[in-house]
Structures are given as C-alpha cells and as structure tokens.
Structure 1
Amino acid sequence: MNLPEKNIPVHHLTSEEFQLSTLQTGHPENFNDIHRHNFFEIIWFGEVQENSSLELDFESHKLRNGQICIIAPGQVFNMKLRGEKGYVMAVTREIFKEACAIESILTGGTIPFSLDSESEKTCKSIISLIEQEYHGPLRLDLLKTYLRAFCIIIAEQINLQDSLQKDRQRIQELIILIEEYYTIHKDTDFYADKIKISSHHLNDIVRLSRATTVKKMIAQRLLLEAKRELSFGALTVKEVAFKLGFSDASYFSRFFKKHTGQSPDGFKSGNG
C-alpha cells in the first residue's frame, strides 16, 4: 500500500525526551495504523502471538518471542496489537545518537532481530533498571547511561548476526565455485581469492558452519565425481584421473584409496 508521504501521520515526542511504556498498555499514539515518528523507537517483543507481525517501510515481518526492532525517524511503521507483551522506548534523536554509534541504525533502524540467551539476560537487567529509574527519580543522565548499555549489547548482536549472514552467503558462494572449478583448482587460496577473504578466514567459516575444511570439501566433490565415473562411465581409471584434473594417474589412485579405503580399480570392478 503506497500512501503519499503527506498522508502518513507523524507522531512526535512532546513532553519528554525519553518515554518508556509497555506493549500491554498499547499506547494509541505509538500504535495507530500506519504512521511515522520524528524520534527513535525501540520495541522489545517479550511475548508475541502466533500471527504477530509488523510492517516497516511497507515490508511485513513475522515476529518471534524476544525480538527487538528499532524504528528510525521517518520510517513508515504499522502494527495492530493483538495482546503482545514487551517494552517500548521512545527516544529523541539527540539522546539516541549519544547512546548508539552504529550509522546504519541511526539512518535506517533495524528489522526485528533476536538476542542470544546471555544478551537477553543482560538486557532484561538493564530494562529493569530503566524501569525503576523512569518510574522513580527520573534522572535523565542515568537513563542515558542505561540506554547506552542496552545499545552496546544489542549492537553486538546486530553485528554478530550480520556477520553470520555474510558467512552463510560465503559458504553458498564457495559451493558454487567448487562446482565450477574443482577439477582445475584444488587449493584453498584460489577460492579465498575469489571470495575476497583470506584462506585462514575462509577455513574458519567452513570449520564453524560445516565442521570441515575447504580442502576436504573439494576432495569430497572430486570423490563423488570419481565414483560416478568409475561406476557408470566407460572411462578407464587413467582417463578418469585426467578428467578430474590429476596429471598423474598413480596420484589419483593414492588420493582415492586414502579417502575410500579402496583402489579405483577395486571400486570400479565392485560396481561394474
């Protein structure tokens, strides 16, 4: 639904620089169909319903328990509350900029993201302190300090999840590259150069996500193709070796036996 900007109401922070409320109270000025803010809003969804979702810049995001969303000034936001529980912090641009130094959040907020259990525990403690202060002495400097602590923790989570997303993309890229080049390039450096990271970093990513190494991934692909050719092809062992990029048939035989426990000839006759 593309509404002209002038028709989208803008909500303002009026009497306070910092407001804390809960989703249970369902502040009508914060959740009233489609709207924009002239301030930053941090929403922490403690408990959501099965069909809970929000719209941010006309894109719908399904919600899960414990997720946090940061809405930047000017972003178009829409959510109908259905009994969700959680916290809402409305913060002026000036205060939020003091608390959070991540440029991407300052300019575009964040879509809903999750916290790991340790970070969630820490953030719960910080929110509890914010709540006590907000409903008690209301010392703005102390609220700013707590908010900064909260932002440090969630920024770490955002950076970590961005990093994991990049790593998943790199693994996909590596799989595609191996499929294309495994018979020509059998060294990790080639693939690392193509992905534009160091060999050490690439191996770290592969080790963490797949519990293996780049070299072993290439070897597995070579073995799969070797077994296919030896089982169903009409090529000799020597021809299979050359087809798979081995300059020496005896080296191919050693490679095959090391990984399978069988010689290529033995495997071929056993599957012939």
Structure 2
Amino acid sequence: MKISREIPLHRLDHKDVYASYAEEIDLGDFSTSHRIDFFAVIWYCSDRDTQYIDFEPYPVKTNLVYLLARNQVHALPGVPPKAKVLLLSKEFFDRIEEEDLRFLFFPFNNEAIVIPDEQTETLSRLFDLILHENKNDNESRLLHFYTNAYLLQLQRLSQNSTTRSALIDPRMRKLFQLISIHYKSQKLVGFYADKIGLSAKRVNQIVTEKTGITVSQLIYNYILIEAKREISHHDKSFKEIAIDLGFKGQSYFSRFFKRHTGTTPESFRQRHL
C-alpha cells in the first residue's frame, strides 16, 4: 500500500477571522510540519523550544511576533507555548487596502518583530478588541478596523527588520512581486531588470544595499523554499520536482540543492519524513 506523504493542511473553515489564545485553538496538530491556508500573527507570551518556519529554526521567546503567509509550512515541537494568535482568511486579507500592511506577511522574511515592554499594553488592548468582537457580534467592519490598527502597530515596530524596511522602496516591492510569480521560469537578473525599467547592474546594487544579498540569491531562496516543501511531504519524484521548478533535469536540480543546502534532496526527504 502506498503511504501518502502529503503535508497536513490547516484550514479556517467558515471563518474570516479567528482570534484566540494558543491553548484554545483546535485546527490540527501544530507539533509537526503543517501548511497553513490562512495568514497568521503569532505573538508568543512565554519561552519554549525552537519552532520551524519553512523548515528553518526560529526562537520562541516572550514578546516575539511572527507573521506567516498563506501556504507557509510551520512546526512547533514540544510543549505548546502561551501565545496570542490572530488568523485571517485569504478573503479577509485581500480586503486589507493598505499595501504596507499586506507586505508585513512577506513569506521570504520570517524574522520576528520584537515587542518592547512599553508597547505590550497597547498591543494587548488591540488584540483584546479583536478577540471580543470575534467572539460576539463579529462585525466585519469593526474587525477590519481593529485588525488594521493592530497590524499598523506591528509595522511601526518592524522598521528594524532589514527585509521589511527594504519593502518601503517601491522598486523592491515590484521586484519581490515579480520574483514570486516568475522564479520557476525566469532565473536571470536581466528579465526582472527589464520589467522594473533599470539595468541589471543597478537592480543588483539596490538589492544588495537593501538586503545584503544579490538578485540571484533572492531567486535561489524562492526556489529552495518551494523545493523543501515539495521534497519533504509530497509524493512527487525528484525528477517531477526538478521540472516543475524549471530545471532541465533531476541532476541539475540535485546539484543546485546540494550546493545551497549542503545536503542532497534524498537526504533532506529522509530527514523530514
């Protein structure tokens, strides 16, 4: 009998907004890798073991906030920490008009937002407003108003994040949007430079100044994230994954993966099964 390795998917069934304390959430097993079908704001209120976002380790500490985008892979092994959790459906998220707030959930950057002690009371009050409305009248307009205010406070605190602050530059936003759409088929800097209306050299200069890495490295990071998702829990062969990600064949893909991760696709799959 063939055993499926499809990654579990957590859904928000029949809900646009779900505000809750972590211990009250019942969407599935959070301890093992799962893909989310919503956008999540997780504000940790206690220290626990390491969590994993797209298979990379990140600390779980009091007053660290993580914003996860739809389709990202998350795992929280061990004893669940205390946390204030806000989950938004794609439909609700798409109705957020401020582009700056939507870009907080940029899936390439999983760096935590640190909440200073003097800001915890303000954010707690906003979360409580969302929680109260969500559990009572559940008025959509009020939930949008409270959620926007909550995210706006987080945006202010995110300015110390290199990648999120880089997204203030409209050229960077357009570049990230283009890469997220075309990274499987377009791996040359010139393609993106033409779309933005700059030379390849200038685009690389801007990206390096803003993020510390090159455009090629940005593209590779997108490919690697999706490759890890596909390898870890899908039944696709390595050849199928290679073709889907725009490689000429499995051998090209395997060399690329090992060069950038230090391990082969086969070893990565075995480790994460």
**Normalized against structure 1, the TM-score is what?**
0.53
**Structure 2 counterpart of 1:19, which letter?**
Y
**Structure 2 counterpart of 1:37, which letter?**
I
Structure 2 distance, partners of 1:94, 1:76, is 20
Structure 1 distance, partners of 2:163, 2:7, is 35
* SS of structure 2 residue aligned to 1:47: coil
Structure 2 residue aligned with 1:86: 83
Structure 2 distance, partners of 1:18, 1:70, is 15
Give 1:29 deviation, angstroms: 2.0
C-alpha spacing 1:111/1:27, structure 2 compared with 1 (3 Å): farther
Q: What does the per-residue CA deviation read over 1:155-183, in whole Å, with 9 as the maximum and x for residues that have no partner?
A: 111123439999xxxxxxxxxxxxxxxxx
- Provide the aligned C-alpha RMSD in A: 3.0
Structure 1 distance, partners of 2:26, 2:68, is 16
Structure 2 residue aligned with 1:162: 162
* SS of structure 2 residue aligned to 1:43: strand
Structure 1 residue aligned with 2:30: 31
Structure 2 residue aligned with 1:69: 66
Structure 2 distance, partners of 1:136, 1:30, is 27
Structure 1 residue aligned with 2:99: 101
1:16 pairs with 2:12: no
Deviating beyond 6 angstroms after TM superposition, the runs of 4 or more aligned structure 1 residues are 163-166
Higher relative contact order (CA 8 A, sep 6+): 2
C-alpha spacing 1:106/1:28, structure 2 compared with 1 (3 Å): closer
Q: What does the per-residue CA deviation read over 1:77-132, in whole Å, with 9 as the maximum and x for residues that have no partner?
A: 11135141121111012322444623643441633221123332211110111121
Correspondence list, 1:229-240, <5 A: none
Give 1:196 deviation, angstroms: 7.9
Structure 1 residue aligned with 2:54: 57
1:152 pairs with 2:152: yes
**Structure 2 counterpart of 1:105, which letter?**
L
Structure 1 residue aligned with 2:40: 41
1:123 pairs with 2:123: yes
Give 1:15 deviation, angstroms: 1.3
Structure 2 distance, partners of 1:148, 1:164, is 17
Overall identity of the aligned pairs, in %: 19
**Structure 2 counterpart of 1:66, which letter?**
N
Bigger shift: residues 14-23 or 157-166: 157-166
CA contact under 8 A between 1:56 and 1:111: conserved in structure 2?
no
Give 1:17 deviation, angstroms: 0.9
Give 1:6 deviation, angstroms: 6.7
Structure 2 distance, partners of 1:92, 1:83, is 23
Structure 2 distance, partners of 1:133, 1:196, is 43
* SS of structure 1 residue aligned to 2:99: coil
CA contact under 8 A between 1:97 and 1:106: conserved in structure 2?
no
Structure 2 residue aligned with 1:138: 138
C-alpha spacing 1:55/1:25, structure 2 compared with 1 (3 Å): same
Structure 1 distance, partners of 2:5, 2:89, is 22
Q: What does the per-residue CA deviation read over 1:20-63, in whole Å, with 9 as the maximum and x for residues that have no partner?
A: 221122524262511111210111111223xx221001100112
Bigger shift: residues 11-20 or 108-117: 108-117
**Structure 2 counterpart of 1:67, which letter?**
L
Structure 2 distance, partners of 1:81, 1:93, is 29
Larger radius of gyration: 1
Structure 2 distance, partners of 1:107, 1:163, is 9
Give 1:76 deviation, angstroms: 1.1
Structure 1 distance, partners of 2:73, 2:60, is 17
* SS of structure 2 residue aligned to 1:63: coil
Structure 2 alignment gaps of length 5 or more = 167-207, 211-273
